[in-house]
């Protein structure tokens, strides 16, 4: 009897449960292998859709489905909040006192925003003039605000890296430019993008391309801005080094942390409660029978659904190896693939991994149809089609035809080496 | 990987000048990197850099700004006075450890 326990049934946990169910189909049906998934929230949210909620493109109902429905019926779904992992006992304790023993554990509890970590962020202006859009509640409140707003200063700020989907705040700024243009009020809105990074994006070539786009769309860029506190009375965002950004609407991407229950197992996580994970095998660096996937890891690649999907192919094999007593494969290369919505039915596409930064070119074939690091309508159509792909291909754990887990240099234009 | 020469020593660095092999570091090299970045090192700067280096060498990852602020003995506000453009980035470069993951 093998007991596979998965913590979190979000993007990564759901994909893993459904893939492992397929791998061990006969054993699971015969009761020789069990696959159990724990989650505390009965709603599965299509998070990439949260970007469009503030602009009324999607309503909250369009992006939420029941969580149990996304899991194969042979997977055991255990609703409940996790209290702690006890690696020495090979068991997980839930808040209601249930004890779940495991032979292999997969941590897939993602990341949460922690606005309470920034002074004044959750003050009187929270969800009145200060908004997040990474939660259904935040995105909905922001939609209400923007639909009646008369204009003024809009500040979009990333508090600290890493955040999930590091392109989402840029996309938000581009869509804001589009939204206010369509409402014939762009000239009354001043948009500023403030980031702790020294450019518009983490890696140099993409930072240059995206910086140019911000410029063309008249979006101000403030770099190396480390937000220290929100002054609710004066409506200014103050950096640790004393710079001030006045706002009428502040859209914040608050500090991100791993799930709070991981605090109880310090040997498993880093300071931000992300699981210390082997970058190639996805095994915990502390306990051999624990693995991690998705936003919950500390790996130096984007926290994105596409990453969870690519990781799942590697983790599926490695859990097979682990349970069979075989050596693990160094299968994961950090592959990430992100559409960047730029407004007016256009989008960019980024494709990169641990070693290769996002490059210009065509994707997935040298003839396209997608364009890397350049705006196109085809990319936008890819972005909008991702919703269907997410529910129907990604979550059930299928491989996507033509898009392998490992990054390929096909179609990419390598920079001249210096 | 590229190399850089400082104090007559050849160092393995990444594209942005972060040391890739912490064992090639000495306090004098830290001092030289700081000078290049326009930072004049004081005892308080060293408290931060030593804490970061120590933590990286024992755990394999650099501390976050928040735990630096809580545990290094230098509060966050002062961290930004010492390294106005980003304590994690600047201190890790001077301390001779790779760029913190959070910056990716
Ligand atoms: C605005 C926005 C736009 C995005 N756009 C894109 C995009 O275009 N493309 C893309 O690829 N990705 C995008 N992403 C990122 C993507 O949604 C995430 O990377 C992905 O969902 C990560 O999956 P995960 O399973 O690791 O975490 P999640 O899907 O967040 O799942 C974690 C689960 O763990 C559960 N959990 C946490 N703690 C506990 C506990 N203590 N007890 C019980 N259960 C718990 C939660 O309820 C949750 O269901 C976007 C994200 C946002 C917010």
Write down the pLDDT at residue B10: 87
Coil/strand/helix, residue A394: helix
In this complex, which of B67, B76, B104 lies closest to A162 when CB atoms are compared?
B104
Which of these is catalytic: B22, B64, B103, B104? Answer: B103
At residue A43, does pLDDT exceed 70? yes
Write down the pLDDT at residue A204: 83
For residue range A219-247, what is the model confidence (pLDDT) as tens digits? 999 998 989 999 999 999 999 888 999 99
Q: DSSP letter string over A54-101?
A: GGTSS-GGGGEEESGGGS-TTSEEEES-EEEEEGGGTEEEETTS-EEE
B73 close to A (CB below 8 A): no
Q: CB of A41 within 8 A of CB of A72?
A: no
Q: CB of A347 within 8 A of CB of A339?
A: yes
CATH code for B2-95?
A: 1.10.10.370
For residue range A275-307, what is the model confidence (pLDDT) as tens digits? 999 999 999 999 999 999 999 999 989 999 999
- Beta-carbon contacts of A401 under 8 Å, excluding residues fewer than 6 positions away, are none
Instruction: Tell me if B79 and A270 make a contact (CB, 8 A cut-off).
Output: no
How far is it, in rounded angstroms, from Cα A341 to Cα A349?
Answer: 9
At residue A417, does pLDDT exceed 90? no
A262 lines ligand 1 (CB under 6 A): no
Write down the pLDDT at residue A114: 96
Q: CB of A184 within 8 A of CB of A177?
A: no
Q: DSSP letter string over A172-190?
A: HHHHHHHHHHHTT-GGGEE
Atom number of ligand 1 nearest to Cα A51: 1
At residue A35, does pLDDT exceed 60? yes
Write down the pLDDT at residue B8: 81
For residue range A71-88, what is the model confidence (pLDDT) as tens digits? 999 999 999 999 999 999
Average the pLDDT over each of A209-213, A313-317, A342-346, B55-59 and give the range with the smallest value: B55-59
pLDDT in tens, chain B (104 residues): 688 888 888 888 888 889 988 999 999 999 999 999 899 999 999 999 999 999 889 877 788 888 888 889 999 889 989 998 788 889 999 999 988 765 44
Write down the pLDDT at residue A148: 97
Instruction: Tell me if A197 and B103 make a contact (CB, 8 A cut-off).
Output: yes
Q: What is the mean pLDDT of residues A343-355?
A: 94
CA count, 13 A, side-chain hemisphere, A285: 17
How far is it, in rounded angstroms, from Cα A90 to Cα A102?
Answer: 6
Bridge-based pairing of strands A91-94 and A82-86 is antiparallel
A278 close to B (CB below 8 A): no
At residue A324, does pLDDT exceed 60? yes
Coil/strand/helix, residue A252: strand
The alpha carbon of A207 is separated from its chain's Cα centroid by a whole number of angstroms, namely 19
Collect all residues of chain A within an 8 Å Cβ-Cβ radius of residue B84.
241
Write down the pLDDT at residue A418: 46
Write down the pLDDT at residue B103: 47
Write down the pLDDT at residue B1: 64
Taking the alpha carbons at both ends of chain A, their separation in whole angstroms is 56
Collect all residues of chain A within an 8 Å Cβ-Cβ radius of residue B61.
270-271, 276, 298
For residue range A157-168, what is the model confidence (pLDDT) as tens digits? 999 989 999 999
- CA atoms A297, A298, A301, A302: torsion sign: positive
Question: What's the whole-number average pLDDT of chain A?
Answer: 95
At residue A10, does pLDDT exceed 50? yes
Q: How confident is the model at residue A249 (pLDDT cuts 50, 70, 90)?
A: very high
Average the pLDDT over each of A15-24, A290-299, A370-379, A408-417 and give the range with the smallest value: A408-417
Chain A residue closest to B100 (CA)? A300
A303 lines ligand 1 (CB under 6 A): yes
What domains appear along chain A, each with residue ranges and CATH number? 2-113+257-323 (3.50.50.60), 115-255 (3.50.50.60)
Q: How confident is the model at residue A152 (pLDDT cuts 50, 70, 90)?
A: very high
A82 lines ligand 1 (CB under 6 A): yes
**Token pair of B102 as six digits:** 């959070």
Whole-model pTM over 0.80: yes
Residue B49 annotated to the active site: no
Domain boundaries, chain B: 2-95
For residue range A90-140, what is the model confidence (pLDDT) as tens digits? 999 999 999 999 999 999 999 999 999 999 999 999 999 999 999 999 999
Going from the C-alpha of A209 to that of each of A100, A199, A224, A340, A361, the distances in angstroms are 49, 11, 18, 12, 13
CA-wise closest residue to B21 among B7, B1, B41, B51: B1
Q: DSSP letter string over A16-37?
A: HHHHHHHHTHHHHHTTSEEEEE
Q: Which of B18, B63, B86, B87 to mutate to test the interface with A (most CBs of A within 10 A)?
A: B86
Q: What is the mean pLDDT of residues A54-75?
A: 97
Distance from the Cα of A376 to chain B's closest Cα (Å) equals 26
A48 lines ligand 1 (CB under 6 A): yes
**Nearest CA owner, ligand 1 atom 23:** A11
């Amino acid at each position: 009897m093998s007991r596979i326990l998965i913590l979190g049934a979000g993007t990564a946990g759901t994909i893993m449960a459904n893939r492992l169910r397929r791998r061990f189909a006969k054993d699971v049906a015969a009761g020789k292998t069990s696959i159990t998934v724990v989650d505390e929230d009965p709603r599965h949210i299509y998070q990439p859709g949260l970007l469009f909620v503030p602009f009324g493109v999607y309503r909250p109902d369009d992006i939420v489905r029941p969580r149990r429905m996304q899991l194969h019926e042979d997977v055991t779904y255990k609703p409940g909040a996790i209290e702690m992992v006890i690696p020495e006992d090979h068991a997980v304790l839930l808040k209601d006192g249930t004890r779940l023993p495991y032979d292999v554990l997969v941590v897939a509890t993602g990341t949460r925003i922690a606005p309470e970590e920034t002074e004044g962020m959750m003050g009187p202006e929270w969800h009145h003039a200060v908004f997040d859009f990474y939660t259904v509640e935040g995105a909905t409140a922001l939609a209400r605000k923007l639909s009646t707003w008369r204009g003024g200063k809009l500040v979009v700020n990333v508090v600290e890296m890493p955040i999930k989907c590091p392109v989402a705040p840029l996309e938000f700024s581009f869509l804001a430019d589009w939204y206010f243009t369509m409402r014939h009020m762009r000239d009354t809105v001043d948009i500023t993008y403030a980031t702790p990074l020294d450019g518009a994006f983490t890696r140099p070539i993409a930072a240059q391309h995206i910086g140019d786009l911000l410029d063309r769309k008249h979006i101000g860029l403030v770099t190396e801005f480390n937000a220290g506190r929100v002054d609710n009375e004066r409506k200014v965002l103050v950096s640790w080094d004393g710079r001030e950004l006045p706002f009428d609407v502040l859209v914040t991407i608050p500090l991100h942390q791993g799930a709070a229950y991981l605090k109880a197992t310090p040997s498993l996580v880093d300071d931000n409660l992300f699981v210390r994970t082997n970058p190639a095998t996805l095994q915990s660096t502390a306990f051999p029978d624990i693995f991690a996937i998705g936003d919950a890891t500390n790996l130096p690649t984007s926290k994105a659904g596409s990453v969870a999907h690519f990781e799942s192919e590697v983790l599926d094999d490695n859990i097979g190896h682990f349970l069979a007593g075989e050596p693990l494969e160094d299968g994961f290369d950090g592959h990430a693939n992100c559409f960047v919505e730029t407004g007016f039915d256009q989008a960019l596409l980024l494709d990169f991994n641990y070693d290769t930064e996002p490059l210009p070119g065509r994707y997935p074939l040298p003839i396209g149809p997608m364009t890397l690091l350049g705006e196109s309508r085809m990319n936008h159509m890819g972005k909008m089609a991702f919703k269907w792909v997410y529910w129907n291909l990604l979550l059930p754990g299928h491989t996507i035809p033509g898009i392998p887990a490992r990054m390929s240099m096909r179609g990419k234009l390598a920079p001249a080496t210096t | 990987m590229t190399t850089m020469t400082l104090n007559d020593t050849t160092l393995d660095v990444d594209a942005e000048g972060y040391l890739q092999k912490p064992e090639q570091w000495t306090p004098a090299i830290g001092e030289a990197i700081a000078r290049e970045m326009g930072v004049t090192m004081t005892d308080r700067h060293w408290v931060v850099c030593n804490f970061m280096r120590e933590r990286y060498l024992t755990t394999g990852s650099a501390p976050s700004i928040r735990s630096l602020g809580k545990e290094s003995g230098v509060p966050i506000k002062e961290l930004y006075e010492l390294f106005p453009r980003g304590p994690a980035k600047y201190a890790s470069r001077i301390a001779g450890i790779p760029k913190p993951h959070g910056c990716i």
